[in-house]
Each structure stands twice: as structure tokens, then as C-alpha cells.
Structure 1
Amino acid sequence: MPVLESALAKVLAMPTAAPTLATPALELDAPTAIAGASAPRIDVLIITAVKEEYDEALKVDDGALDAWDKRPGPTGLEVAFRTYQAATGAPMRVALTRALEMRGVAAANSAWPLITAYKPWILAMCGVCAGRRGEVNLGDVVVGSILYTYDTGAIVAEYDNDGTRHERFKGEPGPYRIPAVWQQRAESFMVPADAPWLVLRPRTLEDQGLWLMERLVAGEDPAKHPDRAARCSSWAKVIERLRKLKRVTETGLALTTHGRAYIDEKKLLHPDGLPKPEEFRARVGPLATGNDVVRDPRIFDRLSESMRKVLGVEMEAAAIGAIAHLTDIRMLVMKGVMDHADDDKDDGFKMFAARAAAECLLAFLRNWADLLPGKGEAETAVAPVQTGHPSVDPPAWDTRSIPMTALPLDLIHVLAEEYPDVRDARAVWERAGGKASEVENISRPRDLWQRLWVRSMQGASARPAALLRSALADLPRNSVLIHSLKAMAQPTTAEAAANLITRLEATKSPLHTKGTLELLEDWKEGDGNVSFAAICPALAGHLSPARRSELQEILSRLAVEMQTGALSGTVNVATAAVVEALLAALEAT
């Protein structure tokens, strides 16, 4: 067992003062839906190391189906829950928390009780790191393909002939790798150039300094230049850095001989104007984890001796790899580059780097949700079981927030195509009886209409049917809108199943052939638009044993009589299909 993993296992085995899940009787998996399979409490658990990283992650709204729900977790520390929609149409349930401090043990202590309580498919982390200069730029995101420690191992003392002591470090990195298919997907992951959060990316101190020096070469006063606030927002830091590099004078603001030669060389190499900042990138490569904050211009030279392609250095990622390995779940770490761990190290990019890492992490998981179990296609929404323990239960996701066959993607597509502008969407919403304030300024039409549809389903003043009628006023022949409106009048599969179960259980014993036929025919009249074959497994599994036995006996007799023609003209085709489907489900279970 690797050194870090062994150490974490010992730490996590220690009793703590924090409340724990003492009773094994609590069932923490979501229940089986009336016609579906069991689902995990959450899909993704995201750990952040510090409050700034946590706060930036809370700002990720793309694809969100509801608002963050913050509540105490099993240890009493805050956990935020939210549901996002994956590209497949399936809901992706996320829990987000932060450690009390930096470093791996703190991250592990935060993750362990939440893994135990919520059973995620993926343990993830987002935050900031130092990036390798020349390989990644400030603000870029590093996707950790290999997570390893660079400062765990053994120190061996050796003595030469004159007794001088020499120490030699023998590392035990204990690397953790993401699956090959995840790495391949990450290498093809790209952020749209128009992603709204990209405008938050600040200019580097180097870029700001070049602008200032260019103004001095042109004989202008950069302090009074109309573009100063936009092009050199970190004015004091830029001047301090230029003085430290001896490019401007110690007093006043004039170029030194060295500074003049530096800017002249830059202008010579770029005759059409100084280069613009490089575009944002998400890069895939190894992340090195250590226990100390690093300011060392040669740190990546040293790290590359044992891990040639290392891209980032930080303080928690390997612990996430170790915990994921111990608990046999997937892991994914993305860190935004806030500095290069050298003499230019400062916090100017910290907030953007944290935001970029969170945006990329959730966008990647949404886009490639087929990598999560059960997320390859739109699934039936299932509300998790509530244990009655507030410190354990995540919020009870309202099944109304995600219709029984997930979101109606064809309808969302039509609305996004026809009403891509927020103003148009707001007009449709208001015609349906909604309030203008309920329509948020979301730039992506698809995400805007996903949010509006969910809000409508959850009881907003613009109800779903009214919203469809409002759109049909503009698009009276749109088949998707017409079909969706008609479908709203039909009972859901779950409602139909519950209706028939209630009728069967309420009938006095013993069941009779005639009464059973009448009950089934009556049910078909009211709920006949629902696929009976789809709900038969639920019916068979939810009936009481006594009623199930009675019903199976009657249906077997009816099936024989229908086959022999004894009931010819008595049982219609639809009811005969119901008898056959239900009998098959009873016999199968």
C-alpha cells in the first residue's frame, strides 16, 4: 500500500469527536422507483480546500436544474447540494463541501464521512495550483491524469570518509491514475470561446507591464491614459514588479536602459503589435502533491526529474486519489493555475483559477455523463429515501423537478431555438402568467429553457400547460408543442400504477373473475394511454402476497379461457393485452 494511502487509512480509522453514522440500520441508498432500479444518493462529491474555492464553485450555474441547498452534513459541516442536467438528459446530483484547511489529511477527513453517507460514484476536487511556466498559463486548468506525492518517502543518511553527513531522499510517490477513457475524453475537452465566465480572466502582470512600458516608449503618461483601468488594473503591483526587475527607475516612472532594451526586443519580435494574451486552455497532465506552499523558481525542474510531464503542484490531489482508491470509486481532480510557484507568485489569479476549475469540472462531468453508471441516457427521476436524520439526509429532490422521463429534450430544443433571447423568453413566460423577475439572465438558450421548464414544473406562476399554450400562440403548427400539450393530459406511469394497485388492494377478498375483468376494463378507460407493459413489473412487486396469489390464479384461468375461445366476445382486445402482460409479470417475479 502506498505511503499516503497507508497513512490516510490509519488517520481515518481513528475515532473522532465529530458525530458519525452509528446505526447500520440506516439505508442510505435511494429506493427502487415504482418501475426503476435503485440510484445512489448523489452522483458526484466535490471537495474544495479553502473557502474561496468553495465560493467560486457555488457560482457555477450552467446546466443547473435547481438552486444550491446548503445544510449540515454528517459531521455538522456545511454541504451544498444541487442537481445539474447532463448532456444525455439525465439528472446529475452533486454535493459540494470544503475542508477546514489545506493539505491532504484535511481533504480526506472532509471526504470520508460524506462518501460513507452519500455513496457517490465519483469523488472530485476543484481548486487552485501552481502551474509549470511554459506549459500552462495563468488561469488555465490542469486536469490531473496522474496524482502523486513528491515529498513522501524515506530520507537516507550517508557519511563520507571524513564523517560528513549527506542526506538522500528516496521518494515513494504512490501515483493514482484516472482511467484511460477519462484521460482521452479530458484531452478532447474544450471550453466554448463565448463561455461568459471567461471574461473574468485578469491580465497577467507581465502583460500589464508591457502595456505600461509601451506607453513610456511612445512618450505617453500611462497613469493618465484612458485605457489604464482596463489594461493595467494592478497598477501598483505592476510598477513594483517592474522596479524589482530593474525595467523602470526606482523613483518616478521612466524606463531604465535594461527596460528600454527589453521592450525594444519585444517590439522587434512582434512588429504588428505586442501579442494578445493566449486563449484559455484545459491541459491534461500529472499533478504533484506536497505538504508545503512553494515559492521556488526551480521546483518544476526538480519535479520533472521523476515525473517528466508534470504540469502542476498543489497540496491535496493525491489524497483524493488515495481515498478514491480505498473506497473503490472514481476520482477526478481539476485545478486552476493561480501562479507559477516562482518570484511572480501572487493571488491575482486565485479567484479566476478557482472559478475556471469548478466550471470545467462540472462541464466535463455534464458532457461526459455516460461515464457515470446509469447516466448513459435519460433516467427516471427518483427521490432519495429520507432517514429522518437531518445531519445525514441530503435534500429530498422533488421528483416534479425532473419529469418521469427526465427533461423533455425535444421540447427544450424547440423553445431554445425559437426563443433564444432572454427578452423573448420573458415575453412567452409572462403571457403564460409568469413574473418577469422569474426569468434569469442566462446567456445560453438551452440552459435558460431548462431552468424555466423545471421552475414551471415545480409550481411557478407560469404552469407547464399555460407555457405550452403561450408558445403555441406563436407556433400553432409545431408538432413538438402540440404533442407535449396533449401528453400533459395523460397520467404518468407511476400515477397509473399506483391507481391500479390501490383498486386491487381495496377490492374485498376473495377476487372473482367477473369483478377482476370489470376492474381492469375500468382502469383501461381511465389510464389506458399509459403503457401497461411498462408498469406491470411495479404492480407485481408492490401487491401484497395474498392479493398477488389470488390475482395470479384468476389471470391464469382467464388466459386459458381466452385461448380456448370460451370468452370470445366477452373480453375486448385491450383488456386481453392487460391480462397477458400482468400475468407474465406475476409469473416472472
Structure 2
Amino acid sequence: MKILLVDDDNDKARDVSRVLLEAGVHDQRDIEHVTNAYDAAQALRRSKFDLLILDLVIPNTKTDDPKADGGKLLLRDINGRPGFIHPTYIIGLTSFDDARENSTIDFNRGLWTIIKFDRSSSDWIDMIRSRIRYIQSSEAATTAGANYGVDLAVVCALREPELRAVLGHDYDWQKTEKPLDPTIYWKGTWQDRKGNLRTIVAASAGNMGLVAASSLTAKMAMHFRPRVIGMCGICAGREGDTELGDVIVANPSWDYGSGKFSNGDGGSDFAPHPTQIPLSPTLRRVAEMVADDGSFLDSLRRSYSGSPPKTALKLRIGPMASGAAVRADDSFFEELAKANRKVLAVEMEAYGVFATANEMPSPRADVLVVKGVSDFANSNKEDSFQDYAAYVSSACLLEMIERHFSE
């Protein structure tokens, strides 16, 4: 594996190199470090790199001062000018929030990721390690000739209402079983918009929660080797930022119970320290397409046979927290916001699906979790919109998958 690290901060570059070596890069000589855009361009014209880690605030040459848009301009040169040997993967890395915001569009255009570098947090370390594992597993799968099985595996928390909503879509479902496995699986097919025959499998866990969802995800990944693992169902939304019936696409997902308890003046205090797993850029793009398709969402709302919420159906992409239990507590979301201030939803399974899929052997699946808001996790919690939330979340998940495989 060959990596180009572009960063004018030598201390930061040493920290990143150490993480790369700990993550499985075999030799320091596999990491080429340059400090400016000119030297990076020369390297990218000379060699093929598996991964480019690009600081966003870099100088043009060794003698220049760093520029706030130096990394962004280099990325535009790589994409727009001839003579560059494109790296397989690109990661942006910055300590500066304004540089990140100014470069987001350019990185999204190439489906690349920007990571916040923060020595007080391990999130950037976890994300780099995850990318290195992904590259290594992709290389191993290519070498070994590993193949995917089905196109989509749908993990449902329960048979009612989640799995019932999925099986309500016409995929010519057939019941199937695996030896020594108590789970009942449903396999189906559909023809995508290009005329290709696609395959789907769906199942429900025996119980709600992270452990049950994780176990089912692992079994489906091993049995069926899906390209995408999807999950639909119900969640609690953040009142004021969501409406009942809204569909939430998890990005990122984390376990809100991950952290540390310590003794404080008024008793024990909890300091959250979660690993947040993002949605893949490719699936985020199709989620954004569906979110912008008002006619599809309006038609979906009107197609529900029961009584939908009074508000228009909206699809929102945002942070979703998972935990062992969901509380009916008016202050719950204020606590969750300590880990991610933009949190939109909370439920009991998504992180288990993301985390398990990330650790499975190759060929590894992407993950897409889509859930409908059935309550606000407050003292007025009630269940009247669960069927609607399951209905619209399953339809949105399948619409995203259809568009994903038809591009």
C-alpha cells in the first residue's frame, strides 16, 4: 500500500504516520510525506498512490505561507488537469472548521471524506484505521477473487411492523432457511432501471437492541455476502428539528452509552466518548437525491392506506444515536447533543449494524439505515404512528437502493 501524506505540520504528520503504521501499513517507506502543493503535484504525476491524506491548509511551495484553500485547490488540480495519476482514495484532514466547510463541496463532488483532526479525540484515528482496513480488505478480495452474493440484505429489528413493511413490497418473496440457523430469511428479486436482475434478502431479529441487530447483521453478511446492508424501521425524533413521520437517514451513527462515568459534586457524571461511523459518500449521494425529490415523497405519503401525520413527508440526513434503551424523557436529546449537537434521532439498533458490517470479512457491505420518526422520546411518547413510520422508511430505503444500482 502506497500513501501520500500532504501536511506542512511535521508534528501532525508524525502522528498520522504512527496511526497508519499501527493500522497495518507495513513500512514507513510506504508513506511519502510532502509539505506543500507543488511537491504533492510532482509526486502525483510520478506515482500511483492507494491513499492521499491531504491537509486542507497548506502552502503552494516550501517557501510560501500556508493558504486556507491550499488543499482544496490541489484537489481541483488533481480532478481537472491532465497529467495526474489519480489516487484510489482521498481523505481531507484539518484542525480548522472554516477550512472544512469551505472544502466540503469539492470533497463531496469526488465522494471523498474530510476528517476533523483533534488531539483531544480519537475519532480521527478510528476513521483513518477504518479506511486502511477497507483498502486492505479490498486488495485482499481482489487478490482472492472474492465475490458478492446478493445486492441488498435488509435487517429489521422486529417482525412487526418493520419486516411486514418490507415484505409488503413486491419482490416475489420466497421463504428460505439455513442449516442450524433458527432465523427465517426471505429472498426476492427485482429488475433495476437498467434492466438488470437484482437480489434482495430480508429478515427480522428476535429482539430489539444493539446485540440482536448486530448478531443478525453478522449472520446475513456471512450467509449472503450483500453489497449493501440496509435497515428500516422506527425511531424517536428530536422535537423541533423533526416532525412525526419524517424519515431519517443515519449519518453518522454511534452508541450513546459509550463513555466514562466519574464522581462529581452531585453524584456520578457521564462523559460521552463514542466512535461515530459515517454513511458512505456514495449512499449519502442517493439519500440526498431522494430527500430533494418532493414528488416522490408526497406520492409516498398519499399512498399510505391509513391516516398519515398532517405534516408533509420529509427525508432528513443526520446524526442518529443508538443505545440499549430509549427513554421517554424530555431532556434526553439534550444529553445526546453532548456527543453530537446536531443529533436528529435515537433508536436501539443502527450502530450495531454499522459497527458489525465494518468488521466483517471481505467482501464488505456498505450500510444504509433509514428510519421513520414515530415519537419524540418525551413524556408524551405514544405508538400511533409506528406503522406509518415503518411503511415510509421501508419505501425510502428501497427507493435509494433502486437509484444506487441504476446509476
Return the TM-score normalized by structure 2: 0.59
Note the alpha carbon deviations across 1:228-285, whole angstroms, 9 max, x for none.
xxxxxxxxxxxxxxxxxxxxxxxxxxxxxxxxxxxxxxxxxxxxxxxxx221111111
Q: Does 1:51 align with 2:159?
A: yes
- Determine which of 282, 293, 313 is the counterpart of 1:181: 282
For 2:263, the equivalent position in structure 1 comes to: 157
Q: Which runs of 5+ in 2 are unaligned?
A: 1-22, 24-121, 127-140
For 1:107, the equivalent position in structure 2 comes to: 213
For 1:529, the equivalent position in structure 2 comes to: none
Cα deviation, residue 197, structure 1: 6.1
- Determine which of 213, 227, 249 is the counterpart of 1:143: 249
What is the CA–CA distance in structure 1 between the aligned matches of 2:188 and 2:271, rounded to whole Å?
44
Q: Judge conservation of contact 1:73–1:114 (CA < 8 Å) in 2.
A: no
SS of the equivalent of 1:200 reads: coil
Q: Judge conservation of contact 2:232–2:390 (CA < 8 Å) in 1.
A: yes
Note the alpha carbon deviations across 1:470-527, whole angstroms, 9 max, x for none.
xxxxxxxxxxxxxxxxxxxxxxxxxxxxxxxxxxxxxxxxxxxxxxxxxxxxxxxxxx
For 2:398, the equivalent position in structure 1 comes to: 362
Letter in 2 for 1:283: R
For 1:266, the equivalent position in structure 2 comes to: none
- Determine which of 149, 174, 177 is the counterpart of 1:69: 174
SS of the equivalent of 1:188 reads: helix
Cα deviation, residue 76, structure 1: 2.7
The 5-angstrom pairing of residues 16-415 of structure 1 reads 40-52=148-160, 53-61=162-170, 64=171, 67-74=172-179, 75-158=181-264, 166-189=267-290, 190=293, 191-195=296-300, 198-200=303-305, 202-204=307-309, 277-327=310-360, 328-370=364-406
Cα deviation, residue 196, structure 1: 7.2
Higher helix share: 1
What is the CA RMSD across the aligned residues, in angstroms? 2.6
Q: Judge conservation of contact 2:210–2:348 (CA < 8 Å) in 1.
A: yes
What is the CA–CA distance in structure 2 between the aligned matches of 1:84 and 1:197, rounded to whole Å?
24
Identity %: 28
Q: Which runs of 5+ in 1 are unaligned?
A: 7-28, 30-36, 205-276, 371-375, 377-589
SS of the equivalent of 2:150 reads: coil
Q: Judge conservation of contact 2:308–2:388 (CA < 8 Å) in 1.
A: no
Cα deviation, residue 368, structure 1: 1.8
Q: Judge conservation of contact 2:234–2:374 (CA < 8 Å) in 1.
A: yes
What is the CA–CA distance in structure 2 between the aligned matches of 1:347 and 1:68, rounded to whole Å?
28
Note the alpha carbon deviations across 1:87-108, whole angstroms, 9 max, x for none.
2322221110000000011111
Q: Judge conservation of contact 1:85–1:366 (CA < 8 Å) in 2.
A: no
Return the TM-score normalized by structure 1: 0.41
Note the alpha carbon deviations across 1:348-385, whole angstroms, 9 max, x for none.
00011011111110111001215xxxxx5xxxxxxxxx
SS of the equivalent of 2:304 reads: helix
Q: Judge conservation of contact 1:295–1:345 (CA < 8 Å) in 2.
A: yes
SS of the equivalent of 1:183 reads: helix
Closer/same/farther in 2, CA of residues 201 and 309 from structure 1, 3 Å limit: farther
Cα deviation, residue 113, structure 1: 1.9
SS of the equivalent of 2:285 reads: helix
Cα deviation, residue 302, structure 1: 2.1
Cα deviation, residue 192, structure 1: 4.5
For 1:542, the equivalent position in structure 2 comes to: none
Cα deviation, residue 57, structure 1: 1.1
RCO higher in structure (CA 8 A, sep ≥6): 1
For 1:515, the equivalent position in structure 2 comes to: none
Higher strand share: 2
What is the CA–CA distance in structure 2 between the aligned matches of 1:333 and 1:133, rounded to whole Å?
20
Closer/same/farther in 2, CA of residues 319 and 197 from structure 1, 3 Å limit: farther
The structure having more radius of gyration, on CA atoms, is 1
